[in-house]
Amino acid sequence: MHIKKFTGPTVKEAIKAVKAEFGDDALILSTKRIQTGVYEVVASVDYDLTKPVDVDISKASESGNGAPASGHGPCDGDFAPAAIKDELKDLRELKEFCVSMMSQSRTRPAMIYTELEEEFARRGVDKTLAQKILMGAFKSVPREKTADTGYLKAYMREKMIEKIDVTDPLSSNRIVAFIGPPGVGKTTTIAKLAAIYSLRKKRSVALLTMDTYRIAAAEQLRVYGKIIGVPVEVARNAVELASFISLHRDKDLILIDTAGRARRNTEHIRELNDMHRVCPEIRFNLVLSSQARDSWLYETVKGFSVVPIDSLTFTKLDEADVYGPILNTMILARKPLAYITTGQRVPEDIELATKERLVHFCIPN
Ligand SMILES: Nc1nc2c(ncn2[C@@H]2O[C@H](COP(=O)(O)OP(=O)(O)OP(=O)(O)O)[C@@H](O)[C@H]2O)c(=O)[nH]1
Ligand SMILES: [Mg+2]
């Protein structure tokens, strides 16, 4: 194997020098910043997918679209300090270069890499996230397995299962509020859960709506409550909410419906804050439509993070053409998924999320 160091004012320039001397088959072994404005790239002409590339790709994906957030608050992943951003930009360039080198190469693993990358894209998985998953798999599986699509998929599924989280919010919490944008299916989801818990699981359930903005909102929940046989009340503010909770302290479950509001609505943000302040034991489930696109979903999670979001629900999977955004959002927000809903029927069209099902959405057999 022929190994040589190249330098340049940017990683890109150094890589250009690599390409000029070693051609398209060059393999980048490592990159580092030697000093400000001088980057060193170590390259080899022997291309071996099993040899690790000395670049922390996990960091590269922690910015921009599809990036996991840091700390407790979701969605702050794209607000990294400037120095880190520069570093990440370089890493991203390098990664894209490595990927393009692999796709130019006619080896079977390279073709499989490209096919899998396209499959992720077709399923709506964020590009950076998909590359991270693929690079991780190609670096880690034994060399002879890099040409085995079935093995690679099984490996990636296993890795993804370790990264995502699901939860059953009603198994460990007594009071859960469903929040989210207008029309996503909050009220329908509550009706489904109320029916399952009251009728099938024989638990005592009370429903409360805080949606006093739409005239028909309370009526919609009352109709469901009547059919299911559970009490439904309206709270106009946090004080009424607290007294409702106190009144129903004997209940196994209190499900709270809220008005669908745009994420930037300041009045709504105040209401959510009040709910949390007055009743800190309330757990919040953010309901999102699986038909929405990544950027909208990210912004919505961020907008609703004025209260601690415990879990997510994705609705309308029956109408969505791709499921990748569900995974992208979960990873970005670092929030577990509770439910997925798959139609309008109450209570049939709801499922407790499982990791296996989620992973199969994005990496089917
Ligand atoms: N296809 C499909 N439709 C659904 C699903 N869940 C809810 N809906 C429909 O979506 C529409 C809106 O549902 P709601 O439950 O009223 O939504 P919401 O979030 O409470 O709406 P607002 O209270 O106005 O914010 C209704 O027509 C529901 O039947 C689902 O999983 N699939
Ligand atoms: Mg509603």
For 302, the 3-state DSSP assignment is helix
- Residue with the nearest Cα to atom 1 of ligand 1? 343
Q: What is the pLDDT of residue 61?
A: 37
- 169-362 to CATH, choices 1.10.3450.40, 3.40.50.300, 3.40.50.2300, 1.10.3720.10: 3.40.50.300
Note the pLDDT tens digit of each residue in 40-80: 888 776 544 334 333 333 333 333 333 333 333 333 344 44
| Residue 26, burial from CB neighbour count under 10 angstroms (0-12, 13-18, 19+) | buried
Using the atom order of ligand 1, give the atom closest to the CA of residue 260: 25
Enumerate the domain spans of the chain: 1-47, 59-163, 169-362
- The residue to mutate among 179, 184, 187, 188, having the most atoms of ligand 1 within 8 angstroms of its beta carbon, is 188
Using the atom order of ligand 1, give the atom closest to the CA of residue 217: 23
Note the pLDDT tens digit of each residue in 67-119: 333 333 333 344 446 667 777 777 777 777 676 666 555 678 888 999 999 99
Could you tell me the pTM of the whole model?
0.76
Residue 160: both structure tokens together: 């993804």
Residues with CB under 6 A from ligand 1: 182-188, 211, 217, 260, 315-316, 318-319, 341-344, 349
Question: How many H-runs (helices) and E-runs (strands) does the chain carry?
Answer: 14, 11
Give the C-alpha separation, 67 to 306, whole Å.
20
